[in-house]
Amino acid sequence: MSDIDIRIIGKAGRITLTRPKALNAMTYEMCLAIRQALTDWQSSAEVSLVVIDATGPRAFCSGGDIAELYETGTKGNYTYGQKFWADEYALNNLIFNYTKPVVSFLQGFTMGGGVGIGCHGTHRIVGETSQIAMPECGIGLVPDVGGSLMLALAPGRLGEYLGITAARMGADDAIYAGFADHYVPELMWADLITELEESGDTTCLDAQITAPAEGTLRSCNPQIDDLFAGETLGDIVRTLRADGSEFAQAAIKLMGRNAPLSMACTVEMIHRLRGPSLTMEKALDLEYRFTARAMEHGDFLEGIRAAIIDKDRAPAWQFADSDVPMAAVSKMLRPLGPNALKL
């Protein structure tokens, strides 16, 4: 497959995304190929660890390839999207629970579906160009691919902030928020990957780990905790509007690009998940409740139309005043019964 290079080199299972012109956006076929390889390598004595990387300087993986989802959804075919998300979430769960080390190298944009394949392994390496985000609310979805788990685990109310603003994280911010583990200068990556392939041992990473330039989230977290403590999206919006700070106004501006129904459901999802009983299975199940309904009842098709089809950047969202009734949130997140996600 020209979009992805899957092979074994030395003691490493190697997965390289090879769609640099498309910012390595992941197609359905790529998702299935990665899942099959990881399944095969799980019990293979030949493979000691897995290394996932991507070609091109601009992106590890900018997300899922959503054009086909739009094409099928606008024809009233919602089952293709539901199958795509179910299979993608099964892959995310496989990586999260993998029994061998999974090392990912996350240059440039790592967003949405890229987080799902790059940020659930055991060793998540960022560099000077890394930009990690969960921008799904901007296209009428919610942070998914297991991203809701990471947002629920982030310090304080950082999860709400990252989820509903889609703010981008550089290396230090991503490490602080729990989306990455280590900073290694990108010039060192090729040699490190060769060492991993030859040794099958992750201890070679230790000598190359350095401290990144300090980000902004550590110092802003007390302010984020105050501004994003509301129980609902409406509570958060009112708090932000009443606060005259530059930070609050910047957050409102970022949120103004996103679907209110998606943001309201994101806040509710994080609140439901946060706590000692959090598991990846619970997070993916809740995410799927939304995405399975996103084409028919949410704003997903309109979000894609505005972003990549007509490119007018003027989506006609439901609840455009950000006053989202709790009944609408409950409708999107209620259990799917026999159609629930099966991992």
Host H or E run for residue 51: strand 49-54
| Contact criterion met (CB below 8 Å) for 163 and 267 | yes
The residues annotated with a catalytic role in the active site are 64, 113, 136, 144
Between CA 223 and CA 221 the distance in angstroms is 5
Between CA 89 and CA 94 the distance in angstroms is 9
215, burial (CB in 10 Å: exposed 0-12, middle 13-18, buried 19+) = middle
Other residues' Cβ atoms within 10 Å of the Cβ of residue 268: 22
Between CA 146 and CA 92 the distance in angstroms is 7
Structure tokens at 86: 């179910």
Counting Cα atoms < 13 Å in the Cβ hemisphere of 149 gives: 22
172, burial (CB in 10 Å: exposed 0-12, middle 13-18, buried 19+) = buried
- β-bridge pairing 49-54 and 4-9: unpaired
- In this structure, the chain runs to a length of 343
Host H or E run for residue 102: strand 102-106
Between CA 239 and CA 227 the distance in angstroms is 6
